[in-house]
Chain A
């Protein structure tokens, strides 16, 4: 099973531990990844905040490359990228005028027909039962709060993925891995997104609420599938506990981390040692008193 692969700027930048994790995890599942040739930035929030054409053109260029190179299914592990790519793709398929205009702007014909997938969708395509059968180390010591953030499920009409108020696709995967999941209130509440540098207080406040609620509901870790969320919850965690009432540090795993761990892959091979909060969650041995 092969997919085109669009890493995006974060996975090749300060969130390259997420790329390490995705490659190791999917590799173990026999999923091949073919990186998109000469991909460009999707534009993230900056593009749609500043220019409506640029917000479509930058993703459109990437979709055009995928079409030219015969890539029908494209994995974008960063939800900012996947959302912008899906959104641009939908707008393109709905308007011939837009297709014509964008093909001219991006110097390649583009129709928007490429299927763009997030990490959860690729794992679903790899087969949840197949993942369950491949588990070597059940994660029974984990009590995970699955955190979706904003852009895995919103805007719902664009993405048509899972439920935008009460998603469960990550919990479903976690249960295949033998992990316990907690019910909690902040699954889709924003972490502060790209405001990490521009308005840090916003990020500290919003991400603190997420961590605190997860801990209040008995979680001993969070599981995320977004590099922005990971930065705000992991890299900024020390700042969060300094700003607000300090709690015990909590591991923030990428979804590919927990799948990889269950498949028997080493922590360092998954890039987990590159996180800012690194702690071992003790396994409870059977029969221990």
Chain B
């Protein structure tokens, strides 16, 4: 138990014990109403060594990383950093739960895309994200969502059909490898 608590603290570089459960993070969170576990409850779970329960929440994937929680915390606890740490741990451990979350698919599609191209190649990234997400949830309306935007973006010159021109494309993949991203 102590190992995982310290792991979250070490990753987030913040002092968990400073949180006295005032609830200000939850009060300011723009998506709290959509969360299964509130931000202050996530903090409580981690304080009590129940990091696994925190990692299994949908909340850490509902979080939009707006930084409101950390900004308003009266004890300067970096709750946003704790959310990041929990996502990082869940992703690194490739938990079945994490890999079933739509935002996780998005982050993965995004990162794989920049790993390949150095910069985001939107057409490919969105195509892969939508396909992977569809294979998980078999939700046709979601898959088709925004497909009418593509021609509109194209006409406005906002949709590129080729990736951007980076000279040293390999450097990003090397950086990913050195950071331990599989």
A residues whose Cβ falls under 8 Å from a Cβ of B: 9-10, 12-17, 38-41, 43-55, 57-58, 61, 104-107, 150-151, 154-156, 164, 189-190, 192-195, 197-200, 202, 206, 235, 274, 276
Contact = CB atoms under 8 A, between A and B. Distances in A.
Given A40-B172, A46-B107, A57-B179, A52 B102 contact: no
Given A9-B120, A106-B175, A150-B67, A199 B62 contact: yes
Contacts of B156: 17, 274
Given A15-B158, A164-B71, A276-B152, 19 more contacts: A14-B158, A38-B168, A41-B172, A43-B114, A47-B111, A49-B91, A50-B108, A54-B179, A57-B179, A58-B114, A154-B67, A154-B68, A155-B71, A190-B30, A190-B31, A193-B64, A194-B64, A206-B31, A206-B64
A12 B114 CA distance: 14
B102 A274 contact: no
Interface of B: 11, 30-31, 34, 62, 64-68, 70-71, 80, 84-85, 87-88, 91-92, 102-103, 105-108, 110-111, 114, 118-120, 122, 126, 129-130, 133, 145-146, 149, 152-153, 156-160, 164, 166-168, 171-172, 174-176, 178-181
Sorted nearest first, the 9 A-B pairs with minimum C-beta distance are A9-B120, A190-B66, A53-B179, A46-B107, A198-B106, A46-B110, A154-B67, A41-B114, A54-B179
Interface residue SS majority, chain B: helix
A45 B11 CA distance: 16
Contact of B158 (A13, A154, A155): A13
A150 B152 CA distance: 28
A154 B181 contact: no
A151 B179 contact: no
Given A40-B172, A107-B171, A276-B152, A197 B31 contact: no
B158 A17 contact: yes
B62 A40 contact: no
Most interface-central of B64, B133, B160, B166 (chain A CB within 10 A): B64
Given A50-B181, A199-B62, A41 B11 contact: no
Nearest to A54: B179
Nearest to A53: B179
A270 to B, nearest CB: 14
Contact of B119 (A40, A48, A104, A195): A40
Contacts of A12: 119, 164
Nearest to A273: B156
18 contacts: A13-B120, A14-B159, A17-B158, A40-B171, A44-B110, A46-B106, A51-B91, A107-B171, A107-B174, A150-B65, A150-B66, A150-B68, A155-B71, A189-B30, A193-B66, A197-B146, A198-B102, A202-B62
Contact of B84 (A52, A150, A192, A274): A52
A45 B122 contact: no
A41 B71 contact: no
B111 to A, nearest CB: 5
Most interface-central of B85, B88, B102 (chain A CB within 10 A): B88
A49 B158 contact: no
Most interface-central of A12, A54, A274 (chain B CB within 10 A): A54
